[in-house]
Structure 1
């Protein structure tokens, strides 16, 4: 109590300051000690951080050096040097920080001097890289030249082989053409025999027509064998005759017999030409056997050189990726193989142009590649040695920095222990002072505050009469007591105000009750009006439009009642008018339906009659048209017979003349047959000699032996055919004399037939003219009847459509009347509607 009275004249702020000043002084002392310790620790931590940063930087230096060694580019070199320079600046900063805290800097100075050695190693590695780039460029040029020469060799060898194969193909083509010519000659011979032996009056057979088609395809070879002078014209005539046989244009036996003689003349010449070509082709193919083998050997040897060039390219790429002695040894082995294969090409390259120059280029480029790769391996080893020295230096710097960091860690622990001891002592002193100051404040502040709190609880329970103690105090507790006194006066005033507010509330409740009564009255009137309007709308929905709303509504709703009554009146008038019009439409529709039905029946009967008439006219027209066509065909047939008869007379005259020429030609053919027999004998001897030569040649002459045997058989068949032709010519001479007499008699008969045919043709012309006129008239009548029939059918269809439309309109009118009957109008209008609906 004494302390409270002593300190009551002072404010709480002064009391707190009086207690806190010693505490603050102690805390200040603790802060000064902690600041000193923190400064020491921060210096040590900053130094340790710079050491760690330096270690991390040297790791970056090592990585950048590895990248530069793996890929020596300007960017990687600049990056490594920049990383090394950054580490130099960091090392200087680390030395300054160590000197500030009094640490030993000898290890840092040794590391700084070692960094200059790393820079020198980087410069030497860069110089070796430039030398390596130059060697790589030379290797690329050497390889490109080898690849070019190998490609040129391969191209030249392939060209030589292609030339030899083209010559071989030319010889084989000549043999194939000769074989086809022999086959064509055989077909000519068989066709000639068939045509010469053809009986009088017979036509060509399908087999002969097929043989003629094969000869036509081979006419190009025939033209090549015989292409000038009279023989050329004979070939042209033969080609025309063969085309006529292929077309099957109904040739007679005389023409076919003459064609057989022509074919017999051309077949030996075509066969002799084929034999000559076969001999030339065989010699050409045999002469190319050695050249073809040499060209294949040359292509294979050049292919080996090209493969060696590809293998050298692969080994060079391997060496450029890893310049090791093993890769260089494998490359030298491939170069040796290239030299060996190039020498092998020289042994078979007698036909290869400029080979010695290409060989010299390959040898020179191979030697250059071997020298450059040896230099490249030495450069790679030198770069690896320089990198090892630089990496060893980096490792030594790393060890120095690790040792320096351990020293700094030991010093930091020692200074941290000293700072921790000072902080603990200052903290204990501060706690003691704080306890004493707290007890003093509690003694001077607790009792007055408890009295004020108890009086505040009394005010809260409604005790407004008791006095408040402490109002005379000069500190903050006195201010609180005086403020509490003001609160007590305000509470008394509040009670008075609440009494007046209760009186005002009761008056407001009375006024609200009056307003609610007036609103209920208004809602009742509106509800009545809505109910009346709803009943009127229900009647309207049921079709009752006879009653209006007669009871008046509230003034605000009266206009709605008048509008509803007006709308209902307009709707009644509209329904009445629609119903009257509907009845009129119904009556008119019934009349239209009856008229349309009558018109439809009449039109159908008329259409049936016209259809029967059109059918009858069409039948007559068809009959007349058929007669006219038959007459025209008869006229054409008679004209053709007339022309054939006139032509036959001319042919008979020509045949008589031809008989004389045939007799003359028979003698000449006999002479030719003797010559053919002689040629066949000589050909048989040549074929026999060729078979002997083919047998001597062994396997290489087997094909030629087969050809020689075929030639012998052809010669034998030619000799037999010549004998048969000579016998046939003797027989044909006697038959020609008899045929001449018959042909003369046939000419006289044909002249008489032609005169009779002329008279028949005149009569048929008159019949055809009359039939055409009748057909034209009947066609016009038929067209007119068809037009009438189509018009009648269209009219019938339109009448049916009109009848259907009238029926539909009548049904819809009845439906509309039934719907209008559902409306309820005034009494007299309702009666009128019901009478109309009935």
Structure 2
């Protein structure tokens, strides 16, 4: 490796580091670029996956919108379905825009897009079927309206026809009752005449007449009503005779001649018997003829009403079956409706056979037959249209399922591709990292080998110099790199170290002299401090004695010459104070001798 060291020694360490680290940096950059590329690919795959997930959720909305359109086929629901389909087409187009025709999943997206277009076509077919169903429903509604109208138009005249026959029958019966009233009146008069003729006396006759007069007056009132128009004079004559008889009976005087008058009235009434019976007979003959004529009409009216009611009931049941069919347009419900329509036709045929000669029956039969046929045909077509619509919807639902399968397959392919790309990126990253580590190790080894020897020599030289071996030679001073600079700097350091040692020797001598001088000064200072401390202590003791009143205490030990003046001044001050106190004591206390000075001092409060 000597040639490597010689080669690299021409460059600075920074340059060598850059040359050796550059491949490692390039490998790290390759790892980063690989990561960025992998991140971009994964981000693209994630965006596609998000589009796919949104599309899968969106197709659930499409299916829900189609269910709503099937339940309520309106323009708004149709527009909603197309809007959802457009959203899904946009989502598929967005996913396809991120792929190339050769990319994985392209075929699945194309298949899903084609199925989406097929759903659009089926929605158009469903709308067309809805239009057909609406047309058929309108036809059924129109036919049902005709049936309802014809039903009323049949029932009203049939009822009127039956009522007219009943009216004629009632008239004939009333005529028969009139004949009975006429005969009853004549019979009553004959019986009354016979009872009067068989009287035992006139009083009994009058009582019989009076008792029968109420019934006779009733016959008087009913007879004119019962008589035919041409026989009305007979009724008047009967009434005149009844009033005459009533007047005779009511006469309270009852003269004998009234009996003759009563007999004359009965004679008049007897004369009316034959013409009244003839009138009654005529009535009865008329009634007999009427009944003969009505027998067939009554039977026909009964059959007409019966057949009309049968037809009406069949129509009601048919309307119920039609309502059920409109709610559930199944073949079973259509078969039930057809059965009821057949019953309607049978009832209509029976009515036509019974009332064919009646104008209302023939007219309404034609309308009803046409409406029945129209409803039956429309129901058959509705079943077919509903079946087609169900098939179209199921086909659309199957296509949605197919789209979901294709999108799921597309998502699986995208996940697989993303997994492979991730593995490729990981392998590339690992390879780049391994290469970078190898390059780093090789570069580090080269750098270590390049720097270790020279730096070791310099280090050893520095140790020798630090150990005082200043005669050690400094190698590598001729190198152009930092090691050469370090070697040259170390050589300068060695030279300076030698100069410093010489300087230190001189400094040591000077420092020894300075230390001796300092020791002398410190000893002198210590002596002075001791003298001052002694003086301070002596003065403190003297002042303490003075404070206690011992004015005889003085400082006898001399101070240092510079401080001894303090001692002499203190002693002089104490002596002066003592003399002053003695004079004051002699003036204030004459009874005391000077020998008691110490005791006085002890008891003087000012002295403590």
Does residue 280 (structure 1) correspond to residue 286 (structure 2)? The answer is yes
Look up the SS of the partner of 2:73 in the other structure.
coil
The residue aligned with 2:269 is 266
The residue aligned with 1:398 is 404
Alignment CA distance shift 1:38-1:238 (3 Å): farther
Any conservation in 2 of the 1:195–1:259 contact (CA below 8 Å)? no
Range moving further from structure 2, 36-45 or 280-289: 36-45
Shift of 1:64: 1.9
Supply the distance in 1 between the matched residues of 2:420 and 2:173 (Cα, whole angstroms): 105
Matches within 5 A, 1:571-720: none
Supply the distance in 2 between the matched residues of 1:277 and 1:236 (Cα, whole angstroms): 23
The residue aligned with 2:139 is 138
The residue aligned with 1:199 is 201
Match of 1:352 among 352, 358, 364: 358
The residue aligned with 2:163 is 162
Does residue 238 (structure 1) correspond to residue 239 (structure 2)? The answer is no
Any conservation in 1 of the 2:216–2:242 contact (CA below 8 Å)? no
The residue aligned with 2:388 is 382
Alignment CA distance shift 1:356-1:273 (3 Å): closer
**Structure 1: runs of 5+ lacking an equivalent:** 1-31, 419-838
Supply the distance in 2 between the matched residues of 1:233 and 1:333 (Cα, whole angstroms): 70
Supply the distance in 2 between the matched residues of 1:41 and 1:188 (Cα, whole angstroms): 130
Supply the distance in 1 between the matched residues of 2:176 and 2:327 (Cα, whole angstroms): 59
The residue aligned with 1:703 is none
Any conservation in 2 of the 1:203–1:252 contact (CA below 8 Å)? no
Match of 2:297 among 291, 294, 302: 291
Shift of 1:129: 1.2
Alignment CA distance shift 1:330-1:288 (3 Å): same
Alignment CA distance shift 1:244-1:382 (3 Å): farther
Alignment CA distance shift 1:188-1:229 (3 Å): closer
Shift of 1:96: 5.9
Post-superposition CA distance 1:365-411 (Å, at most 9, x none):
44444443333333223222222221111001112333445566785
Any conservation in 1 of the 2:356–2:362 contact (CA below 8 Å)? no
Alignment CA distance shift 1:114-1:255 (3 Å): farther
The residue aligned with 2:125 is 124
Post-superposition CA distance 1:542-589 (Å, at most 9, x none):
xxxxxxxxxxxxxxxxxxxxxxxxxxxxxxxxxxxxxxxxxxxxxxxx
Any conservation in 2 of the 1:194–1:260 contact (CA below 8 Å)? no
Supply the distance in 2 between the matched residues of 1:201 and 1:211 (Cα, whole angstroms): 14
Supply the distance in 2 between the matched residues of 1:266 and 1:94 (Cα, whole angstroms): 122
The residue aligned with 1:82 is 83
The residue aligned with 1:647 is none
Any conservation in 2 of the 1:184–1:214 contact (CA below 8 Å)? no
Shift of 1:218: 2.8
Supply the distance in 2 between the matched residues of 1:378 and 1:126 (Cα, whole angstroms): 15
Supply the distance in 2 between the matched residues of 1:233 and 1:180 (Cα, whole angstroms): 16
Which structure would you say has the larger Rg? 2
Supply the distance in 2 between the matched residues of 1:342 and 1:233 (Cα, whole angstroms): 58
Post-superposition CA distance 1:87-142 (Å, at most 9, x none):
2233344556889xx99565444323321111111011111211221122223223
| Higher RCO, Cα 8 Å, sep 6+ | 2
Any conservation in 2 of the 1:160–1:295 contact (CA below 8 Å)? yes
Look up the SS of the partner of 1:288 in the other structure.
helix
Alignment CA distance shift 1:126-1:41 (3 Å): same
Does residue 307 (structure 1) correspond to residue 313 (structure 2)? The answer is yes
Q: TM-score, normalised by structure 2?
A: 0.52
The residue aligned with 1:484 is none
Supply the distance in 1 between the matched residues of 2:333 and 2:222 (Cα, whole angstroms): 66
Shift of 1:329: 3.7
Any conservation in 2 of the 1:189–1:264 contact (CA below 8 Å)? no
Supply the distance in 1 between the matched residues of 2:46 and 2:349 (Cα, whole angstroms): 77
Matches within 5 A, 1:350-749: 351-353=357-359, 355-405=361-411
Any conservation in 2 of the 1:213–1:242 contact (CA below 8 Å)? no
Matches within 5 A, 1:55-74: 55-74=56-75
Q: TM-score, normalised by structure 1?
A: 0.39
Look up the SS of the partner of 1:323 in the other structure.
coil
Alignment CA distance shift 1:220-1:106 (3 Å): same
Supply the distance in 1 between the matched residues of 2:48 and 2:279 (Cα, whole angstroms): 112
Any conservation in 2 of the 1:149–1:358 contact (CA below 8 Å)? yes
Supply the distance in 2 between the matched residues of 1:327 and 1:357 (Cα, whole angstroms): 30
Q: CA RMSD in A?
A: 4.5
Supply the distance in 2 between the matched residues of 1:403 and 1:227 (Cα, whole angstroms): 110
The residue aligned with 1:213 is 214
Q: How many residues align?
A: 383
Look up the SS of the partner of 2:386 in the other structure.
helix
Post-superposition CA distance 1:324-361 (Å, at most 9, x none):
34444444444444444433334333541265454444
Shift of 1:208: 4.8
Alignment CA distance shift 1:128-1:231 (3 Å): closer
Supply the distance in 2 between the matched residues of 1:344 and 1:303 (Cα, whole angstroms): 11
Match of 1:343 among 343, 349, 357: 349
Any conservation in 2 of the 1:58–1:87 contact (CA below 8 Å)? yes
Supply the distance in 1 between the matched residues of 2:231 and 2:179 (Cα, whole angstroms): 18
Supply the distance in 2 between the matched residues of 1:128 and 1:221 (Cα, whole angstroms): 76
Supply the distance in 1 between the matched residues of 2:79 and 2:59 (Cα, whole angstroms): 16
Any conservation in 2 of the 1:57–1:87 contact (CA below 8 Å)? yes
Matches within 5 A, 1:776-795: none
Look up the SS of the partner of 2:358 in the other structure.
coil
Supply the distance in 2 between the matched residues of 1:285 and 1:401 (Cα, whole angstroms): 89
